[in-house]
Amino acid sequence: MRLKISEVSKHYGVTCALDGADLDLNEDVSVLSMIGPSGGGKSTLLKIIGGLEVPDKGAVSLNDQKVDYQSEESLLEHRRRNGYLFQSFNLFPHKKAIENVTLPLELVHGLSTSVAIEKANHCLDRFGLIEHANKFPFELSGGQQQRVAIARAIAPGPNLLFLDEPTSALDPEMTGEVLDLIAELKNGGQDIILTTHEMGFAREVADEIIFLEEGKIMENGEPNLLLSEDGKNSRLDKFLSRVMRY
Amino acid sequence: MKRVISSFISFLFLTVSCKAGPDPLVVGMELEYPPFEFVADNGKNDGVSVKMAEALATHLGRTLEIQNIKFDALITALKSGSIDLIISSMTATEERRKSIDFSDPYVTTGLAMLVPKDSPIKGIEELMSGKRKVVVKLGTTGESFARSKLKNATILTMTQDPACALEVAQKKADVWIYDQLSIFHHHKQHKETTKALLKPIREEQWAIGIRKPKFGEDDSLRIQVNDFLKKFRESGQFEELSNTYLQEEKKLVKTMGIPFIFDVNPDQKVDVIRRNQDSYTGVDPLFIIIISILVLLTIAAFWCLTREEDNSIPGHDDILRNILGFVILWIILIGVCFFIFSSINRSYHWNWEGIWNRRWQIFGGWIRTLWISFSALILCIGVGVGLVIGSRCSFRPLRFFCRAYTEIVRGSPLLVVLLFGYYVIAEAFNINGRILVGILLLALFAGAYLGEILRGGIDSVGKTQFDSARAVGFSRLQTYRYVIIPQAVRRILPAVAGLFIMLVKDSSLLSVIGAEEFTKRSDIARAATFTGIEGYLPLAVGYLLITIPLAYCSKRLERKFSYET
């Protein structure tokens, strides 16, 4: 993917979430991981790139295509091209697992009911969820819910998949389940941008890591270079030493 | 269990408590009829009747207690024993004398007419000829006069004096028939638009109402009261009262050449009617069948409502035990009812005949209430949804209007909304159908509540669901249609069911603008036959017949929409 972010700022009331973030990424990055302390602007930046939030100023272009934040219609198109996953799963609680997957396929992507069901079954099967297809979200474990959410995001075949802290609401065992799945997606050639607190995972799966703090991109680079502890930036070192301590 | 207790308590309230003690003398009157009975500026009861009651209590050597009771409930109160006497400007009519006894008359007055300024009606002849639209107050002699004498007229009953006057002033009715003094006073309020015809079209006597003696009791109270009235007149105290309270009226009637109200022929007596208890007349099989089906349906709905749904209670699906529990509850309820009614039976003179004779009228009122409620209910959904959309709309005037509307309508009493809406707003737009306007006003009123409930339901769904819906690429409309509304509906169902039940019961207030629905028809029957509990019991049952199935439907929907435990 090619991603260019220039001077992106976002305020929520008086709180400044992003304060002029800049980035220029070349083509051979397939998985981009954002790390940084909570409140550093990771999720906000992800939402802006994903077309869920509109920046106060600045511009984003993805694969040489500028995201038009002025037109709700073009934003809707942008969201429909890509998949998005939330920390807290956000499945539709009144719909069964399979309906959570088929509903967007039918309503947004115009598939017929039978094709949508076939596609959804294929996805759920791939993620080992086929026996849970007719359960409601409240009947599933957190890990299962997050996997259904991934199936929902993946089923339409998105250009790019946004994952917003996909494992931070899960216990370690379920985290493992979901991280395995994301690694598998990467191996299948899926482009992904994610935010995470799992440093080991970020190092293993990402081609590029960016470090955000106080609404700015402080650092970016290849994982092995950036995360080796002889770092040049004292802020990143402090952050890493804090998260790696235990 | 809560439901059982509350239905039990509501049952207790239905039955009038029946206490009777020799001391003090309890006199019932409606303190809304100056200068005869009213509450003075200093908060004390005042007026001709109050002074009479005080003198009477002194005469009898008892202390006085005055109870302020609605006019059309006075006879019920007297019959049930909660008051001893009625002194409330009550005319001693033949119909009333079937229910209670009266003392000798103390006032002679007559029915007068209030007509629009340019009305062709000059007297009784013009009134009788042609198809007139007559307005009367519920339970008054004006009503019984109109119903018995004016066969061609359309009769409209209202519960409030000012509403009757407005009907004439706005030419919605041709004439209001009421007593002389009231007509005189209301004419003063509407000098520009009305004309008072004070020459009595029928003479009437006011007397003090006394309970008919039960088996074994004597007539002593009536004799004592008559004795008192004689002394009171002879000592010139009526003259004194008229000088205190009725100077202006006295002068006016003297100039019109009509005798003044206290000029009673001293020989005039009021007969006392004694007769056996009424018996049932013919039985109407169709009516019995309809009622039985309705009652059975309601019991079925009630059964489904009380059924256990909580999986945590062991054996919840044990049908036999459920049926047993249900039957035991009903046996207890029937026992309690029997106890209450057997105690009331000793003092209460049941008279089902009048209500039975009017069963089809009352049933017609019930049908009307049914469709008033349901039309209002459907319209109110439209109003509520409109308000929610309006208050989120980007066009500011509309948004502000919706918010202001919600707060103002929700904050005003329905009675005021109805009176203001009908006599001011509907009048301005020249809309005349009472029921139509009533349905609209009910819907507009309940819609304000529903709008807020809907808003709360939508807000409670939470931002994460909006985010999620947008993330999968739903448009705004799809987001609401497939994600937000289905979840909101599940959450607001109990509140909406409560609102709809309230709406059904509130439809009874439509009687203030003269719509003859269930409560009104039942009131008319009750007032005409001077029955009390006999009129209220079918009323309670009738509303339950609507509200319990409504509650059942809401429960069914809740189960249908449920997706989490």
Residue matched to tokens 């700022």: A9
The third-level CATH classification (topology) of the domain covering B107-205 is: D-Maltodextrin-Binding Protein; domain 2 (3.40.190)
Give A48: exposed, middle or buried? Use CB within 10 Å, 0-12, 13-18, 19+. Answer: buried
Closest chain B C-alpha to A20 CA, distance in angstroms: 24
DSSP B88: S
- Give the residue from chain A lying closest to B483, CA to CA: A92
Domain assignment present for A3: no
Mean pLDDT calculated for residue range B154-170: 88
> What residues does each domain of chain B span?
2-106+207-256, 107-205, 296-317+349-561
Write down the pLDDT at residue B218.
Answer: 75
Domain assignment present for A189: yes
B475–A50 CB contact, under 8 Å: no
How many structural domains is chain A composed of? 2
- Give the residue from chain A lying closest to B477, CA to CA: A107
3-state secondary structure (DSSP) of residue A171: coil
Residue A5: half-sphere exposure toward Cβ, Cα within 13 Å: 20
Give yes or no for residue B7 having a pLDDT over 60: no
B196: its two tokens: 């008072």
B490–A138 CB contact, under 8 Å: no
Preceding amide of B35 cis, omega within 30: yes
Judge contact between B537 and B526, C-beta under 8 A: no
Strands (DSSP E) found in chain A: 3-12, 15-25, 31-35, 57-62, 65-66, 83-85, 160-164, 191-195, 208-213, 216-221
Whether residues A145 and A52 fall in one domain: no
Sheet holding A57-62, edge to edge: A15-25, A3-12, A57-62, A65-66
- Chain B interface with A: residues with Cβ < 8 Å: 464-465, 467-475, 478, 482-483, 486-487, 490, 561, 563-565
Task: Choose the CATH number for B296-317+349-561 among 3.90.930.12, 1.10.3720.10, 1.20.1740.10, 2.40.340.10.
Answer: 1.10.3720.10
Q: Can you tell me the distance from the alpha carbon of B421 to that of B419, in angstroms, rounded to the nearest whole number?
A: 5
Residue matched to tokens 């509407």: B190
Fold agreement (B2-106+207-256, B107-205) = yes
Write down the pLDDT at residue B53.
Answer: 93
B132: its two tokens: 């007139």
Q: Using 50, 70 and 90 to split pLDDT, how confident is the model at B277?
A: very low
- Tens-place pLDDT, residues A59-112: 999 888 898 988 888 999 999 999 999 888 889 998 999 999 999 999 999 899
**Which one of B473, B487, B564 has the shortest CB-CB distance to A104?**
B473
Whether residues A133 and A231 fall in one domain: no
Write down the pLDDT at residue B310.
Answer: 56
Whether residues A75 and A123 fall in one domain: no
Q: Using 50, 70 and 90 to split pLDDT, how confident is the model at B309?
A: low
Write down the pLDDT at residue B216.
Answer: 67
Domain assignment present for A121: yes
Residues from chain B contacting residue A52 (CB–CB below 8 Å):
467, 470-471
Q: Using 50, 70 and 90 to split pLDDT, how confident is the model at B91?
A: confident
A88 in reach of chain B (CB within 8 A): yes
Of A103, A133, A157, the last residue of a domain is A157
Whether pTM > 0.80 for this model: the answer is no
**Which one of B474, B482, B563 has the shortest CB-CB distance to A93?**
B563
- Tens-place pLDDT, residues A105-162: 999 998 999 999 999 999 999 888 899 999 999 889 888 898 899 899 989 989 999 9
**Chain B interface, best mutation among A43, A80, A87, A90, by max B CB count within 10 A:** A90
- CB burial of B135-167 (b: ≥16 within 10 Å; e: otherwise) equals bbbbbbbbbbbbbeebeebebbbbbbbebbbbb
Cα distances (angstroms) measured from residue B360 to each of B72, B143, B220, B285, B381: 22, 20, 41, 12, 32
Q: Report CA B447 to chain centroid distance, whole Å.
A: 23
- What DSSP letter does each residue of B99-159 carry, written as one string? HSEE-S--EEEEEEEEEETT-S--SHHHHHSS--EEEEETTSHHHHHHHHH-TTSEEEEES
- % of chain A exceeding 70 in pLDDT: 98
Judge contact between B453 and B496, C-beta under 8 A: yes
A94–B486 CB contact, under 8 Å: yes
3-state secondary structure (DSSP) of residue B20: coil
Rg of the Cα trace of chain B? 28
A76–B478 CB contact, under 8 Å: no
B472–A52 CB contact, under 8 Å: no
B502: its two tokens: 């309230």
Range of the domain at A117: 89-157
Residues from chain B contacting residue A80 (CB–CB below 8 Å):
473
Write down the pLDDT at residue B349.
Answer: 65
Residues from chain A contacting residue B465 (CB–CB below 8 Å):
90, 92
Whether residues A108 and A198 fall in one domain: no
Whether residues A145 and A170 fall in one domain: no
Residue matched to tokens 């709180």: A15
ipTM for the predicted complex: 0.86
3-state secondary structure (DSSP) of residue B208: coil
Residue matched to tokens 């950036």: A226
CATH number at residue A177: 3.40.50.300
Whether residues A181 and A117 fall in one domain: no
A153–B472 CB contact, under 8 Å: yes
Does the domain spanning B2-106+207-256 belong to CATH 3.40.190.10?
yes
Give yes or no for residue B170 having a pLDDT over 60: yes
